Amino acid sequence: MFVEFVIQNQLFSYSLETFAQILNVPCQGACVFTDRWRLDELAYGIPSDGPYQTNLPPIEDIISSIQIDREGQVRRIRHEEEIDVLEYQILTHEIVQTLKPLEEIIQENIFCLGGNRDHVPACLCFMLYCIVHFKKFNLAYYMAKRMEWVTKQARLILPYGRKIRRGHGTRRGHPSTSSSTFDQPSSSHLNDDDDDENNEGTSRASTPSSIRYVNSLTNQVP
């Protein structure tokens, strides 16, 4: 798998492994990407064969690992209208207390979303499940697929621009799949249209130390 993108009219192409090294993120483990937040839609975002083939756990196992017990029908506000929360949708306040700090860190540094965050995206739910059960998650695969998804959306700007530019700079003087340097503004803004909310969010600047902390989260969960 190769990651290709254009910045300032320059084409960059990296193997997924090199891409992971640039961003200093894991490149092994479960591979999945979806922009949806229903857990049953995770199945549509995993490779079914090849080197990145991934087998998902039962949805009920994910829910029981990260969600507090739900009593009765839960409702939420969407476009000023109260609607039912479906069975495989998890609200932010339903995440178990010990995982809430991790959920916030991953939201800020990997999903880079502002705006309405009353719910937890399906991929983030699965990341939390992997943390709880000490399972590897291929963060490089997720980030590459997210970049690919963004290029197909209107009005969205490539995410992780600052991370890529900074990571590429640390590799100067070392063998690389591209000798070009990144020429991109120091920050990027991402308007992320959630499939359910259609709300706009803004990416937030992240430091390498926060990414390294995300990478080590599995060591923080008992």
Q: What percent of the chain is helix, strand and coil (3-state, nearest 5)?
A: 40, 10, 50
More confident residue, 9 or 44: 44
pLDDT band for position 170 (50/70/90)?
low
CA distances to 127, 160, 180 from 62, in Å: 10, 27, 42
In a domain, 132, yes or no: yes
pLDDT at 5: 76
pTM of the shown model: 0.73
Distance CA 44, CA 46 (A): 6
- d(CA 34, CA 31) in angstroms, rounded, equals 11
What average pLDDT does the segment 7-13 reach?
Answer: 78
Measured in residues, the chain has a length of 222
Instruction: Output the pLDDT for position 131.
Output: 95
For the record, the structure tokens of 212 come out as 């390294």
pLDDT of residue 40: 94
> With pLDDT > 90 as the criterion, what percentage of the chain qualifies?
38
pLDDT at 14 over 60: yes
- Domain membership of residue 200 (yes or no) is yes
Buried b (16+ CB within 10 A) or exposed e, 113-130: bbebbebbbbbbbbbbbb
Structural domain includes residue 2? no
**Is 194 among the domain residues?**
yes
More confident residue, 125 or 3: 125
55 found inside a domain:
yes
* Residue 9 domain flag: no
> Nearest CA to 156 among 141, 146, 166, 170?
146
CB 166 within 8 A of CB 207: no
Per-residue confidence (pLDDT) for residue 212, from 0 to 100 = 54
Q: What is the mean pLDDT of residues 10-14?
A: 83
**Contact, 18 vs 164, CB < 8 A?**
no
Q: Is the pLDDT of residue 163 over 90?
A: no
> Is the residue at 76 inside a domain?
yes
Q: Above 70 in pLDDT, residue 44?
A: yes
Other C-beta atoms lying within 10 Å of the C-beta of residue 189: 17
CA 139 to mean position of chain CA atoms: 7
Q: How many domains does the chain have?
A: 1
The rounded distance, in Å, linking the Cα atoms of 5 and 154 is 16
Domain residue limits at 138? 22-219
Residue 127 located in a structural domain: yes
pLDDT at 220: 47
Whether residue 196 has pLDDT greater than 70 = no
